[in-house]
Structure 1
Amino acid sequence: MQPHQQRVIDELTELDEKIEKLSDFIGGAIYNGLDETDRVLLAMQLSVMKAYSEILHKRINRF
């Protein structure tokens, strides 16, 4: 495996951990107490992070 390929794998691992943490946060009480705009922005952030994760998965599958 090339170094740049390992970096992509490492990036995906870190991203998926962040996705899990944000998903857990969105399911919690603190999130529900946030302003609606902040909730919308966090939900949008999670959506984009998931799309990015899918792209990294596709790149890794091509290695």
Structure 2
Amino acid sequence: MKIALDQEKCVASGQCVTAADAVFDQRDEDGIAVLLDVSPGPEREAEVRQAAAVCPVLAIRIES
């Protein structure tokens, strides 16, 4: 699994961090999401999918 994050769309809601804090974090200066792991293992798939689902602006894309 590979993840793409559109930081231009991000509104700093933090939902991705809540859902998958091993994969996402937020910048201190503006709260915009950052990827900690672009290709997390299968053990993180459920939480990454949850993070993508709860993103209010659909800034997270999961690629196979």
**TM-score in terms of structure 2 length:** 0.27
More helix by share: 1
More strand by share: 2
**TM-score in terms of structure 1 length:** 0.27
Greater Rg by CA: 1
